């Protein structure tokens, strides 16, 4: 593909915080950005040149977007494949709709990973209550039942601690196609954000350690404190996934590290990832600039990390007792504040994040936790 150079216009399907940070990176490099989503005054729309407010199923609106841009990308994987196909009939879409088709559906994704010989949690495909009972008899309890589609931040899944809870669990996920996964007693959760260019070039940001709270990412820190062999294994798994799917863009592979030292692939995300937000402040080239470079056919940037870093999500819960104390967090010179422009804080909603840089991972982690605590408590006396 002929490179799409600065001055061109990029379309984004989706308008949340990932689209916002992508749009900022694109505008910094001289591109224009148009977004399309059902929302108005959205995080991405606030910093874009044009914001189209329409459902993803409004194919006329999708055509309008595509006719006015030079390429299209997406910021989350629950965009209908038909929407992507319509846009792709007019301009390049990256990653391609075929990538979205696999990664937005757990059955297709798990089947793909199994076919590639990549290690995953033990799972069974479930399309009926009878199949769920059969899967439970094979997998045992505890286990996790997940919908095949539209799952993120713990949505669309339910733990089953007894076969007697099968019918209740099946009703909870809406009696839809899903997968039953064996419970994994993992040591920690890890992720690896990688990028693949139009020419097949590959780059990555190394393994990232993650902590979740109520199924929502809470803290990420890097470099991960794991043996080098594990990181090399993770890199090769990510490379395999991206090459087999012919990904052009950013993709995150989420892993479980078992207590006996094995990596299991949990999920794929064909876009910039929450755990990679530290790259905005800690790396030569952020994951969002890399997405832009890949989409536009530019050479990939350096992923070199300048310092150890830790990232803490800021959820709407922080607003429970009023506006957080931004002055307290900004008083810490090694901490960077990122807010997403969301108009209404809600419990569990990602409103922003903090990143701390330090000479060591432990120092960065302490710094970002202290900074987040100060938003509510203020500086200690």
Domain residue ranges in the chain: 9-93, 122-182, 186-377
Is residue 380 predicted with pLDDT exceeding 80? no
Is residue 314 predicted with pLDDT exceeding 80? yes
Return the pLDDT at 139: 86
Tokens of 304: 């070199």
Domain 186-377 -> CATH class: alpha beta
Residue 339: which of 121, 89, 95, 20 has the closest Cα? 20
Domain 9-93 -> CATH class: alpha beta
Greatest Cα-to-Cα distance within the chain, rounded to the nearest angstrom = 61
Residue 148: which of 127, 162, 130, 119 has the closest Cα? 127
Tokens of 1: 């593909």
Is residue 141 predicted with pLDDT exceeding 60? yes
Tell me the C-alpha distance between 243 and 249, whole Å. 11
Confidence of residue 153 (pLDDT cuts 50, 70, 90): low
The stretch 63-76 carries a mean pLDDT of: 97
* CB-count burial class (<10 Å; 0-12, 13-18, 19+) for 195: buried
Question: Is 149 in contact with 104 (CB distance < 8 Å)?
Answer: yes
Instruction: Express each pLDDT in 168-187 by its tens digit.
Output: 999 999 999 999 999 888 99
Predicted TM-score (pTM) of the model is 0.94
9-13 and 32-37 strand pairing: parallel
Tell me the C-alpha distance between 213 and 150, whole Å. 20
Tokens of 145: 């039942």
Instruction: Express each pLDDT in 86-127 by its tens digit.
Output: 999 999 999 999 999 999 999 999 999 999 999 999 999 999
Confidence of residue 342 (pLDDT cuts 50, 70, 90): very high
Return the pLDDT at 156: 80
Is residue 14 predicted with pLDDT exceeding 50? yes
122-182 is classed CATH 3.30.1490.20: yes
Is residue 198 predicted with pLDDT exceeding 80? yes
Instruction: Express each pLDDT in 255-278 by its tens digit.
Output: 999 999 999 999 999 999 999 999
Entry field: residues in the chain: 381
């Amino acid at each position: 593909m002929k490179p799409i150079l600065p001055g061109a216009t990029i379309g984004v399907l989706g308008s949340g915080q990932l689209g916002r940070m992508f749009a900022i990176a694109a505008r910094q490099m001289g591109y224009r950005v148009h977004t399309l989503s059902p929302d108005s005054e959205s995080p991405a729309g606030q910093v874009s040149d044009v914001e189209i407010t329409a459902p993803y199923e409004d194919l006329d609106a999708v055509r309008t977007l595509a006719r006015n841009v030079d390429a299209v990308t997406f910021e989350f994987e629950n965009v209908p494949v038909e929407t992507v196909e319509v846009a792709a009939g007019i301009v390049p879409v990256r990653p391609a709709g075929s990538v979205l088709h696999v990664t937005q559906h757990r059955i297709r994704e798990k089947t793909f990973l199994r076919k590639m010989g990549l290690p995953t949690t033990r799972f069974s495909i479930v399309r009926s209550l009878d199949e769920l009972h059969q899967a439970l008899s094979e997998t045992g309890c505890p286990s996790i039942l997940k919908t095949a589609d539209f799952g993120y931040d713990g949505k669309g899944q339910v733990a089953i601690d007894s076969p007697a809870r099968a019918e209740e669990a099946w009703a909870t996920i809406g009696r839809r196609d899903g997968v039953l996964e064996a419970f994994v007693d993992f040591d920690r959760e890890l992720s690896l954000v990688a990028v693949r260019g139009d020419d097949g070039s590959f780059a990555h940001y190394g393994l990232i350690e993650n902590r979740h709270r109520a199924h929502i990412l809470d803290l990420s820190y890097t470099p991960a404190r794991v043996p080098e062999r594990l990181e090399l294994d993770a890199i090769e798994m990510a490379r395999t996934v991206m090459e087999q799917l012919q990904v052009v863009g950013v993709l995150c592979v989420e892993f479980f590290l078992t207590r006996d030292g094995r990596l299991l692939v949990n999920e794929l995300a064909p876009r910039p990832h929450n755990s990679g937000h530290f790259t905005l402040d800690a790396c030569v080239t952020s994951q969002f600039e890399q997405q832009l470079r890949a989409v536009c056919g530019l050479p990939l940037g350096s992923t070199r990390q300048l310092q150890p870093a830790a990232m803490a999500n800021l959820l709407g819960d922080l607003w429970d007792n009023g506006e957080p104390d931004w002055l307290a967090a900004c008083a810490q010179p090694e901490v960077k504040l990122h807010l997403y422009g969301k108009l209404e804080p809600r419990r569990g909603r990602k409103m922003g994040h903090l990143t701390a840089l330090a000479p060591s991972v432990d120092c960065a982690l302490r710094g970002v936790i202290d900074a987040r605590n100060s938003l509510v408590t203020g500086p200690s006396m």
